Structure 1
Amino acid sequence: MRTAEPGELWPDHLVVPAAELTVARARGVVRRAQAFARRLVITDPLSFGERAPAVLRLLTDATARRVPLEWTLGGEPPWPVRTLVHLTPPAGRGEYARRWRDGHRAGLCCYRVGPGFVRVRDLRPDGEHRDVLITGALANRFVALAEDAAADEALLADLVDTGLAVRVDEGHHVLPHRLLRWPIPHTEI
């Protein structure tokens, strides 16, 4: 049996080595996997050390775009499980990974964008539940910050204080993922 080359499309999945993961590459491979309706398979364990921005971007984008992601955790992240439980959980062993899988549900911490507003919902377990409506210019600032387009220190500090963002190295990462598709069929409402 032949081994997959990095970035190679297989009939049912796209292979990405953890060593090649950067923030830009994470966005690209998630979009490529979505475009070709493939599972995304990370071949090596992912750790949140120096690759934390890329790993968070991969998890956030894969969760938002509902791209099936297979990955394993390489060491315990520096945050409580509650911080990441809304993102696609890892496979494998370990207490942190198990608690992440057990607590994971779709839509636990997400945001929707509408005309002139952003609605943020945080229903992650073991903490305060929030349903926040952001309007006007602040809504645009939130979206820019979530997309890593701008470093809005005042807004970022507020989000970090409320547990909706984390500082990573010299940057940041907004934790809620954008809800791009309603997870429940409209016929079920």
Structure 2
Amino acid sequence: MSTLQRAKCQAKAHPLAMDAALAAAVLVCMVAGSFVEPRHRDSVSWALRTPDPLSLVLMALGAAALVFRRRAPMTVLALTGAVSVIESVTGDPRAPVAMSAVIALYTVASTTDRPTTWRVGLLTMTVLTGSAMAAGSLPWYAQENLAIFAWTGIGATAGDAVRSRRAFVQAIRERAERAERTREEEARRRVAEERLRIA
């Protein structure tokens, strides 16, 4: 294997390793969050609970899908959205499986154009929030349902902002490179004219 091929393999492996680390961190956050119940029947204090086995499986599936978020962002969003809907409908109390869908939505928004981000973001917000409000065990106005709406909106907005910033930085870089090329061409032209004048 040549040095160039080895460098390409390392460049491909590096984002995959970063995505695997992100998926592990998201899984830890989801599992930790699934053991805490913020509302208790008799008080406003935090209480411990045991998550359902189905919730643990859904959290593992959602986190595992995030490993491939750069390779197939739409597919990962569809999968994480599906496990989030299943948890919204079956979980009582609900585990934070939607966290994986928020990360996937951020990835889609940061890698596509603005119209796609708007369409996919609104669809994701509608499906996740609608299923939680309509079929979940909580009242439609519950704080957890509104949180899903807010977090999906934040994910789409943050991804769009990152994509816009990348495009802006790339445009500045291209403009600077173009200006540098123009200066070099101008310098070569002047040298050629000077040589012609001397000759």
Alignment TM-score, normalising by the size of structure 2 = 0.29
Greater strand proportion: 1
Say which structure is richer in helix: 2
Q: Which has the larger radius of gyration?
A: 2
TM-score (norm 1): 0.31
